[in-house]
Structure 1
Amino acid sequence: MSNPPPPQPSTLHHQVPYITTPTTLTTTNREYRKGNWTIQETLILITAKRLDDERRIKPSTSSHSRPGELKWKWVENYCWDHGCYRNQNQCNDKWDNLLREYKKVRQYQSSQSESSDHFPSYWSMERHQRKLHNLPTNMSPEVFKALNDVLQRKNNIHQQQQQEQQPQQQQQQSTSSIHQQQLKQPSISQPTDQLAVGTDQQPPEIEAPITVSEESDSSETESSENLDSETKRKKVRKIGSSIMRSASVLAQTLKSCEEKKEKRHQEVMKLEQRRLQIEETRNEVNQKGITDLVAAMTNLSGAIQSLIANHYDQT
Structure 2
Amino acid sequence: MSNPLPPPPPPSTHHHQHQPLNIITPATTSATTMTSAPNREYRKGNWTIQETLTLITAKRLDDERRAKPSTSSPSKPGELRWKWIENYCWDHGCFRSQNQCNDKWDNLLRDYKKVRQYQSSHSQSQSSHPFLSYWSMERHQRKLHNLPTNMSPEVFEALNDVLQRKLNTQQQPHLHQPSFSQSPEQLPLKTDQNPPEVDAPVTVSEESDSSETESSENLDSKTKRKKVRKIGSSIMRSASVLAQTLKSCEENKEKRHQQVMELEHRRLQIEETRNEVNRKGITDLVAAMTNLSGAIQSLIANHYDQT
**TM-score, length of structure 1 as denominator length:** 0.45
Higher-RCO chain (CA-CA 8 Å, sequence separation at least 6): 1
Which is helix-richer, 1 or 2?
1
TM-score (norm 2): 0.46
Q: Max radius of gyration: which structure?
A: 2
